[in-house]
Amino acid sequence: MTSLTFEDYCHRIVAQTDLLRAQVGGVDIRTAVPTCPGWDLGRLLRHVGGDHRWAEEIVRTRATEPVADDGVNDPRVYAELDGSALDGWLGEGAAGLAAVLRGAGPDVRVWTPADGSVVPRSAGFWARRMTHETVVHRADAAFAVGAGFALEGELAVDAVEEWLEFSTVTEAYEPAPGTPGLLGPGRTLGLDAPGAGQWFVDLTGERPVWRAGLGPASVVVRGPVTELLLFLYRRPAPAVETRGDVALLELWLRRTGFWLEA
């Protein structure tokens, strides 16, 4: 388990956005983003800035119901922002979100898209979620511009554990028409990031559970923690190795990644 605090997340939203801005500085925003098919850098940056503003509105207004996310998913909303304007706009959005989060505090109750029984419906959720949203899209930008992607280990570990928490919400495992069931006898997974962390996922009960450490697993995924994180998000991770029931792993990734497309 990591020890990142609410303030850590608020700080890192801005810091990761600044790294993203520096990474794409001077690059043509029409550059394709291979890890987000159909997107160019302009679309990616507008998506990140739109995400920050969406989360800021949810926390600022203390929303208890879903808030329209057109600025996140509709490329027309911020289409007027060109390369020179995008940089400052991204910085303003990150700083504004961090300020609103700090003003609210981690425990103020607000709407979240996740199951409240698993992930708290709070401003703290949005601080963590927007941190890792920015991290993963910074990786997308790195792939687009051919740059390296590095991430401090503690932040990568926390992002992996956020994924694991999402993997236990009802939508990730409940039976649905045309959707393969996830739970069953002998269905266990291990994630191993040498020197950083190990995690065991048990799918044999009434709902998924996970814990730190390893155990007898049907399939094991092993690699450096940052690449393990990218692997979970279906980004290139050449140093990651898998051993065992790859079909179970694929099913788990597909079911637990439902929220990426929500």
Residues in the chain, how many?
Answer: 262
Place domain 177-261 in its CATH homologous superfamily.
Answer: SCP2 sterol-binding domain (3.30.1050.10)
- The per-residue pLDDT for range 136-188, each reduced to its tens digit, is 999 999 999 999 999 999 999 999 999 999 999 988 898 878 888 899 999 99
- Rg of the chain over all Cα atoms, to the nearest angstrom: 18
Helical packing angle, 123-145 and 153-166, nearest 10°: 120
The whole-model pTM stands at 0.95
- Fold for 6-149, please state it: Four Helix Bundle (Hemerythrin (Met), subunit A) (1.20.120)
Would you state the pLDDT for residue 32? 98
Would you state the pLDDT for residue 1? 63
In the block, tokens 């709407």 appear at 111
Compute the distance between CA of residue 166 and CA of residue 184 in angstroms, rounded to an integer: 19
Average pLDDT over residues 119-135: 95
Percent of the chain with pLDDT over 70: 97
Tokens of 37: 């098919």
SS3 251: helix
Would you state the pLDDT for residue 261? 57
Q: Evaluate if residue 262 carries a pLDDT over 60.
A: no
Would you state the pLDDT for residue 251? 94
Average pLDDT over residues 207-230: 97
- Under the banding of pLDDT at 50, 70 and 90, the label for residue 3 is confident
Average pLDDT over residues 16-28: 96
Average pLDDT over residues 89-116: 94
Average pLDDT over residues 181-198: 96
Please name every residue paired with 209 in a beta bridge, in sequence order, or none if there are none.
202
Neighbour-count burial of 223, counting CB atoms closer than 10 A to its CB (0-12 exposed, 13-18 middle, 19+ buried): buried
Question: CB–CB of 170/115 below 8 Å?
Answer: yes
Would you state the pLDDT for residue 175? 84
Domain spans in the chain, listed from the N-terminal domain onward:
6-149, 177-261
Please name every residue paired with 199 in a beta bridge, in sequence order, or none if there are none.
191, 212
